[in-house]
Chains A and B, each alone.
Chain A
Amino acid sequence: MNLLTSLAIGILFAAGIYQILRRNVIRAAVGLVLLSNAVNLFLFSAGAYNGQSAAYSTAAAQISDPLPQALVLTAIVISMGGFAFVLSLLYVISTRYKTSDSDEVKGLKN
């Protein structure tokens, strides 16, 4: 299972990277979300121990590590805020440069 999980994380990450490198900025935004998903999963794998039960103080079995969960929770929120900002940037690019090709976006002036 570990092998499969890490492979899935790797594939998700690779897909994100590949999308980010596309000329189409919309694809790059999609890649960004894929990347943050991959990173969140990766953070989970950095947890200290496995658990059979959710992290509740009333749980009978061994609980899963709560620390990476709390961190990932924060990460999800922040990356969504960042993602929304990136989307508005996409809109700005498309109105200012009349393109969504990142190669055509050169210079920061009008």
Chain B
Amino acid sequence: MQDFILALPLLLLGAGTLTALAFSRSGWSASRLGWLLSLFALTSFLLILYAFTLVPSGKALTFTLPWIPSVGLDFSLYLDGLSALFALLITGIGTLVVIYAGQYFGGDASAWRFHAYTLLFMLAMLGLVLAGDLITLFLFWEGTSISSFLLIAYKFKDEAARKGAFKSLFITGGGGIAMLAGFLFVIHLSGGADFKTVLASGGFLRASPLYPVFFALIAFGAFTKSAQFPAHIWLPEAMTAPTPASAFLHSATMVKAGVYLLARLNPALGQTDLWFWTLSIVGLTTMLVGAYLGFKQNDLKPLLAYSTVSQLGVLVALIGQDTEIAFKALVISILAHALYKSALFMSAGIIDHETGTRDLRKLGGLRRQMPLMFGITGIAALSMAGLPPLFGFLAKETLLASATHPSLPPIVDSLFPLATVLAGALILAQAALAVWGVFLGKPADEKHPPHGHDPHFAFWLAPAVPAIISLLIGLTPVEPQFLVEFLADAAKAAYGDKVKISLALWTGINVPLILSIVAVTLGSLLFWQRERIRAWMTDFLPNFTTNALFDGTVSGLDTLSRTATRLQGGRLRVYLRILLLSAIVLVVLFNGIPRQISLPALTWNIEGLNGLRMFSLVMLTVSALVSVFVRRDLYAVIALGITGLGVAMWMALEPSPDVALVQLIVDILSTVILILSLSLIPRKLRDRANELLHSRRGMVRDALLAGLAGLVVAGLAFTALNTRPRESVVSPFYAENAKPLTGAKDIVGAIVVDFRGADTLMEILVFSLAGLGIYTLLHYATRKSSDRTREEPEKRLKPNTPRGVFNLPTSPMLHTLAYIMLPLAFLLGITHMMYGHDQPGDGFTAGVIISLAIAQWYMLFGYYETRRKLAWLNRNNMIAAGLTLAVLNALGGAVFGGGFFSPVDYGRMLRLPLPPGFYLTNSFLFEVSIALSVMGAATLILDNLGHPREEDLEADADLAALEEKQ
């Protein structure tokens, strides 16, 4: 349970975030809230410090929680020297930053948002360095990207802030995804995501042929996060964040995430030539570019940001080395840089806050007004410049020692020291520039000298603490033993071997010291000639910016997404074409073009020809083609009806009489409701639609597409038909068990009503829902005003002269026919229900047959007359009764038969005297319920599609007006 202590700081920071949110409406000032929240950060700091004392030297403390055990994923935490170094920096500087942010925003009661983001970021960052496996690390890594986005865009009304936030998220987020891909390789190869496994399989990973791939992916992620050239462009723009955020994220913590990752994985992936060259080249380039660009800046924050870029380059280059001294330099530099840079950023924020500007061209001569700030900034700047007796001096000395290490290969052994000296000189000049430009010298603008004074204690405390620590570490005569051991532990975790650390400033006159003196001299010269050099740099030297690349990428992605969006231009026919084409391509792709079709199979098989089948095929083909080519839609509908008849005939010859019967009556019913619904659409509209022209090209294209689709389907059908007979397990089972289990001679009927009864229940439900859907659509969706109330028809309707479909008068002979047909249809339907088990036809057929007779009424008498005469026809009750009966009947099977839908013969059970051949089974009741619900739904459909519309007249008027306008 001891290791649970690792999770506590994270939980605490999460609680802190929630606290900040909870105080959103409290009206507490930022400063008060800052003090409260700093307690969370401080406690986390102390907890980590305590946890670290539990870690035996050189070992790690781990905490594991199963996350997704099925894929072997854990949430795990890991604390060793390296994590502890970063974790203490994060929580330590975090505590100061929270207090500082409170002072920075002062009485602003809306700054709780900033506090919440800061704590959220601290949580993510701490999780990142404490993560015990690659997946947990990735999770928190993305967390830092997102919370940093929120912090940079804190002043979201400012466009520059939004742009900077987007840029940082785009670059670091993109790097994060590449990194995840690299992680997956590593996890796959090493067989585990946790660091113990990964670090132990270093040799195997380095020997893998995939090593360059995952190395490149992971390095890309680390480089983007740590602002390495050419991905450095996001860091200066992230300076639009409020200064407390910059001090925290962009100096001490987030930008070091990449460095942390590289250092963490160094024992597993490092110490190869590829590692050395990539990290050295990228790191040293970044170091020079950052130092060079920083020297050009006039704004304090970008100046500090570029020097951070430079320092990050140094750290990356150091991890690339394979020497003990490099890792000594690494840990010292990390600590030294975090201390002085956070102090400088916070000081810059104070100067900005007090004087209203950070521009070196407006500041100057503030040493008398702000002596305290002068002192703090001065100390931190001296450390940045790498001058004794500050901690920064030690960092630079060890860096130079590492740069002149004899193990370096040729060329590098001269370039590395040279670049380091040059960058060191430039950084020194920048440090001088910052101090001189703000506190010393004269105000750049004599007429408007800057005004400001030292802030109160709580405000300057935050930058003072790290600055003073920088000074103390350098000044103490005796090396603080715990710090030495602590840094040695951290370096060992990154290097993989023991690293000896000493914090003595004076190591005698040696090469690093001489180089250091050269750098200081050169830096002083640069500072002395700063005006000239800076002007020259601005005018003549390149900017080393890759913004064009970034902008190009972003606008390229924009164009790509616009193109993708254009495919969805709102034209359904275009979608359909794309879908069809894709379906065709996929079918052909996965099936291949059949090569096994033997030619004999393709010849006309005269013996198999069947006159009636032939006739049905010709009938359906020709009528389908007629429906395509005929001009008027009414003719197309009639041709469609004939196609359906042809299909029914073909089915009857299959032979499958049940299906043929259903097809026949459904075809008729479909044609009827199609004609009814056509009558709803104003004639003018339909005529205009009939005249719609398609371009010749469009027609050819559609014909080609349709032809291709038809060919594919024909090919599939041909293959299926030619490979008969096939083995089937299901069909013989049904054939053998239909009679013994259900008592039905009709196997198809038995399948529909008994074997797959639940299917059929769903089917009638869907059919009823279609009816209800139509009702809803026509009654609520099309209603323009709520004036049309839906009264019970029989109350409102008066006798009317019967007028049929299309408002045509109908003959009395037909009326008589309709009167006769309805009872006949009922009779026929009941017979179907009663004997459907042994003959073609079933409840569905019965329902449709009765509906057809009703449809005839609608066609002949029109809506009003039909409703008046058939007032007893209540569709809603029929649907409800049908569905209820179906469910009760199925439950009856469960009660009496031993299972849902189990067959029960109620007739025999109750010993009822029934006519021969008729069995009162629950199958029969199911048929009745099917018939009822189908009748109800069909009547509902007829009712709604047969209803003459008041809107029709309105639409006609609208159309006339429209045409007049044209």
Identify the A interface with B (CB < 8 A).
1-27, 29-30, 33-34, 37-38, 40-42, 44-58, 63-67, 69-70, 72-74, 76-78, 80-85, 87-92, 94-96, 98-103, 105-107
By a CB distance below 8 angstroms, the chain A residues around B663 are: 40, 76
Complex alpha-carbon distance, A9 and B945, angstroms:
31
Closest B residue by C-beta to A42? B717
> Is the CB of B203 closer than 8 A to any CB of chain A?
no
Residue in contact with B751 in the complex, picked from A19, A24, A45, A66, CB distance below 8 Å: A66
Q: Which residue of A lies closest to B607 (CB)?
A: A1
B844 at the interface (CB under 8 A from A): yes
B 370-398 binary contact with A (CB < 8 Å = 1; else 0): 00000000000000000000000000000
Residues of A within 8 Å of B577, CB to CB, are: 21
- What A residues does B694 contact at CB under 8 A? 22-23
Task: Tell me the minimal C-beta distance from B955 to chain A in angstroms.
Answer: 6
A14-B713, A41-B647, A94-B682 known, 16 other contacts, Cβ within 8 Å = A2-B718, A15-B624, A17-B580, A34-B624, A37-B647, A38-B713, A44-B651, A45-B721, A53-B655, A69-B748, A81-B769, A81-B771, A82-B770, A87-B673, A94-B680, A98-B685
Within 8 A of A (CB), among B715-744: 715-718, 720-722, 724-728, 730-731, 734-735, 738-739, 744
Q: For the complex, is B56 an interface residue (Cβ under 8 Å from A)?
A: no
Instruction: Indicate if B282 sits at the interface (CB-CB under 8 A).
Output: no
Compute how far the CA of A17 lies from the CA of B670 in the bound complex, rounded to whole angstroms: 19
Contacting chain A: which of B241-249, B317-325, B632-640, B794-802?
B632-640
Verify A63–B747 contact, CB threshold 8 A: yes
Picked from B688, B715, B767, B774, the residue with its CB within 8 Å of the CB of A88 is B774
Residues of chain B within 8 A (CB-CB) of A9 are 713-714, 717
Complex: A65 Cα to B744 Cα, angstroms: 16
Interface residue total, chain B, C-beta cutoff 8 A: 121
Write out, one digit per residue, whether chain B residues 658-697 have a CB within 8 A of any chain A CB (1) or not (0): 1100110010011001100110111001101110101000
Q: How far is the CA of A106 from the CA of B717 in the complex (A)?
A: 37
B724 near A50: Cβ-Cβ < 8 Å: yes
The residue on A at minimum CB distance from B784 is A95
Which label, helix, strand, loop or mixed, suits the secondary structure of the A interface?
A: helix
CB-CB < 8 A to B763: which residues of A? Answer: 74, 77-78
CA distance A102 to B694 in the complex (A): 12
Closest to A94 in B: B681
Minimum Cβ distance to chain B for residue A28 (Å):
9
Q: Is A57 touching B770 in the complex (CB atoms < 8 A)?
A: no
Contact of A74 among B604, B680, B710, B760 (CB under 8 A): B760
Alpha-carbon gap, A41 to B633, bound state (A) = 25
In angstroms, Cα B949 to Cα A45, docked, is 44
Is B605 touching A30 in the complex (CB atoms < 8 A)? no
Q: How far is the CA of A45 from the CA of B714 in the complex (A)?
A: 10
Q: Are B669 and A80 in contact (CB under 8 A)?
A: yes
18 CB-based A-B contacts, threshold 8 Å: A1-B605, A8-B617, A12-B624, A15-B625, A15-B710, A17-B706, A21-B573, A26-B633, A26-B686, A34-B627, A57-B747, A66-B734, A67-B728, A72-B656, A77-B844, A87-B673, A87-B774, A92-B782
Contact of A94 among B654, B685, B751 (CB under 8 A): B685
Report the separation of the CA atoms of residues A42 and B714 in the bound assembly, to the nearest whole angstrom.
9
Asked whether A33 and B644 contact (CB < 8 A) given A13-B710, A98-B959, the answer is yes
Question: Most B CB atoms within 10 A — which of A2, A8, A66?
Answer: A66
Q: Given that A6-B718, A92-B777 are known contacts, is A15 also in contact with B662, CB under 8 Å in the complex?
A: no
Task: Say whether B721 contacts A5, CB under 8 Å.
Answer: yes
Contact status B720-A45, CB under 8 Å: yes
- For residue A19, which residues in chain B have a CB less than 8 angstroms away from its CB? 627-628
- Judge whether B899 is part of the interface by a CB distance below 8 angstroms: no
* Cross-chain contact A65 with B731 (CB below 8 angstroms): yes
Q: Enumerate the 9 nearest inter-chain pairs by beta-carbon distance, A residue then B residue, closest first.
A: A10-B714, A14-B710, A81-B770, A48-B728, A6-B718, A49-B725, A70-B751, A18-B706, A6-B717
For A21, what are the chain B residues with a Cβ–Cβ distance below 8 Å? 573, 576-577, 702, 705-706
B positions within 8 Å CB-CB of A:
570-573, 576-577, 580, 601-602, 604-605, 608-610, 613-614, 617, 620-621, 624-625, 627-628, 633, 636-637, 640, 643-644, 647, 650-651, 654-659, 662-663, 666, 669-670, 673-674, 677-678, 680-682, 685-686, 688-690, 692, 694, 702-703, 705-707, 709-711, 713-718, 720-722, 724-728, 730-731, 734-735, 738-739, 744-748, 751-752, 756, 759-760, 763-764, 766-767, 769-771, 773-774, 777-778, 781-782, 840, 844, 934, 937, 941, 944-945, 949, 951, 955, 958-959, 962
Among B570, B650, B720, max chain A CB count under 10 A is at B720
Nearest-Cβ distance from residue A52 to partner chain B, whole angstroms: 8
Pairwise interchain contact B674-A29, C-beta atoms closer than 8 A: yes
Contact for B747 among A55, A76, A94, A99, CB less than 8 A: A55
Inter-chain CA distance A53–B644, complex, in Å, is 23
- Name the A residues within 8 Å of B682 (CB-CB): 94
Q: How many A-B residue pairs have CB under 8 A?
A: 319
Q: Which residues of A contact B751 (CB under 8 A)?
A: 66-67, 69-70
Q: Are B628 and A94 in contact (CB under 8 A)?
A: no
Contact yes or no, A77 B620, CB < 8 A: no
Chain B residues with CB under 8 Å of A16's CB are: 624, 706
**Central interface residue in B724, B937, B958, by most chain A CB within 10 Å:** B724
Residues in A whose Cβ lies below 8 Å from that of B728: 48-49, 65, 67
B135 to chain A, nearest CB (A): 42
Q: Per a CB cutoff under 8 Å, which of B614, B650, B688, B770 touches A85?
A: B770
CB <8 Å contact, A1 and B613: yes
Q: Knowing A5-B721, A37-B643 touch, does A85 contact B636 (C-beta < 8 A)?
A: no
Complex interface: chain A residues within 8 A of B764 (CB) = 77
Report yes or no: B709 in contact with A26, Cβ–Cβ below 8 A: no
Which residue of chain A has its CB nearest to the CB of B716?
Answer: A42
A76 touches B662 (CB 8 A): yes
Tell me, in angstroms, the Cα distance from A77 to B770 when the chains sit together. 11
CB distance from B93 to the nearest CB of A (A): 53
A residues less than 8 Å from B705 (CB atoms): 17, 21
Residue of A nearest to B721 (CB): A2
Interface centre among B654, B682, B781 (most CB of A within 10 A): B654
Q: CB distance A91 to B782 under 8 Å? A: yes
Q: Write the nearest CB–CB distance from A88 to chain B, whole angstroms.
A: 4
Complex Cα distance A96/B780, Å? 13
Would you call A48 and B724 a contact (CB within 8 A)? yes
B443 to chain A: closest CB distance in Å?
62
Identity of the chain A residue whose Cβ is nearest the Cβ of B707 in the assembled complex: A14
Nearest CB on A from B655, distance (A): 5
| Residue contact B735 to A55, C-beta cutoff 8 Å | yes
Q: Name the residue of chain A whose CB is nearest to the CB of B641.
A: A33
Known contacts: A34-B624, A54-B656, A84-B774. The answer to whether A42 contacts B677 by CB under 8 A is no
By the criterion CB–CB under 8 Å, are A46 and B720 in contact?
Answer: yes
Closest to B937 in A: A81
Please tell me if the beta carbons of A57 and B677 are within 8 angstroms of each other in the complex: no
Q: How far is the CB of A15 from chain B (nearest CB, A)?
A: 4
Partner of A95, one of B713, B716, B951: B951
Chain B residues whose CB sits within 8 angstroms of the CB of A10 once the complex forms: 710-711, 713-715, 717
* Contact B620 A3, beta carbon cutoff 8 Å: no
How far is A91 from B774 in the complex, measured between Cα atoms in Å? 10
Contact A26 B735 (CB under 8 A): no
Are B636 and A30 in touch, CB under 8 angstroms? yes
Shortest distance between the CB of A92 and any CB in chain B (Å): 5
With the chains together, A26 CA to B119 CA distance in Å? 61
What's the nearest-Cβ distance from chain B to residue A10, in Å?
A: 3
Interface residue from B624, B685, B744, B962 paired with A11 (Cβ < 8 Å) = B624
CA distance A48 to B689 in the complex (A): 44
Decide: A24 and B690 in contact? CB cutoff 8 A: yes
Is A1 touching B610 in the complex (CB atoms < 8 A)? yes
- Find chain B residues with CB under 8 A from A42 CB: 713, 716-717, 720
Given contacts A2-B605, A18-B703, A45-B717, contact A77 B662 (CB under 8 A): yes
Given contact pairs A30-B637, A49-B724, A100 touches B685 in the complex (Cβ within 8 A): yes
Q: How far is the CA of A44 from the CA of B844 in the complex (A)?
A: 20
* A4 → chain B closest CB, angstroms: 6
